Amino acid sequence: MDISVEKTPKQTLTDYAVDTATYVSITHLPGTTLDKVVQSAKDLNDQAGANKSVPHIGARNLQSESELHENLIDMKNNGIDRVLIIGGGTKNGRVYKNANEVQTIAREYGFTCYCGVYPQQEDFEYAKKFKYENFDSGISQLCLNPRLLNTWKEPTRIGVPSNCTVKGLLKYLKMCGLTESFGYMVDNMNGIWYIDYNGFNTKKFVKELVNEKIHIYNFGKLDQTLMQLEFS
């Protein structure tokens, strides 16, 4: 199984998690400057002894053109050649409005570009036509409906939660706006079948998926999750 994982710039992963993961994506949250993401990516590559980091770039989180260009140059100078570009957590960007604008610039520097895809808002054919024409791959936003996720094909990587608590899972769903509409809530109600006394059963959920490229959203118990998947 091909497994990638995620972390914030402040989080530190164990050597086991870094060694097991195909790559580690590093989030770019509102209020965090891109250089903090890039420094975390460089530190992770030092820990891995290889280029395993995929920094996020939140387009609308950028505060200037120079912030983007200077950090793209820094990444290239340090052997980082892949980025995940998303719109960002804010509604209005000071410089860039969407991921496509940033993708065009990142391509000029020779980056491989990944994007976010949203199974509860768009289908695979839409992404294939309007996103995968420009991006090399996509990672799905958290969705707890295996039937819906199984309609997504290559080059999509399926995002799944780690063995987190129910409280942690609900917190993330709320943060992503996935509890705000009736449709989102109905789709994600399927996730109740994968919750037991230990929390979310990632192994059971992943067994329902046909896509073997998995991205673990790190809500806690990451090593435990990786061990269960690695030896399943």
User: 2-230 in CATH: which number?
Assistant: 3.20.20.220
Q: What is the pLDDT along the chain (232 residues), one digit of tens a residue?
A: 899 999 999 999 999 999 999 999 999 999 999 999 999 999 999 999 999 999 999 999 999 999 999 999 999 999 999 999 999 978 889 999 999 999 999 999 999 999 999 998 899 999 999 999 999 999 999 888 999 999 999 999 999 999 887 776 766 656 555 444 334 444 555 666 788 877 889 999 999 999 999 999 998 899 999 999 987 6
> What is d(CA 219, CA 145) in angstroms, rounded to the nearest whole number?
18
Phi and psi angles of residue 26, each rounded to the nearest 5 degrees, phi first: -125, 120
The separation between CA 116 and the C-alpha centre of its own chain, rounded to angstroms, equals 7
H helix intervals, 50-98: 65-77
> What is d(CA 74, CA 189) in angstroms, rounded to the nearest whole number?
43
Q: Where are the domains of the chain?
A: 2-230
CB-CB neighbours of 227 under 10 Å: 16
Rg (Cα) of the chain, in Å, rounded?
A: 17
pTM of the model: 0.90
Q: Which residues contact 156 (CB under 8 A, 6 or more apart)?
A: 117, 124, 127, 137, 138, 139, 140, 211, 213
Assign residue 33 a region (left: φ > 0; alpha: ψ between -120 and 50; beta: otherwise): beta
Determine contact, residues 115/84, Cβ cutoff 8 Å. Answer: yes
Strands 195-196 and 199-200: antiparallel
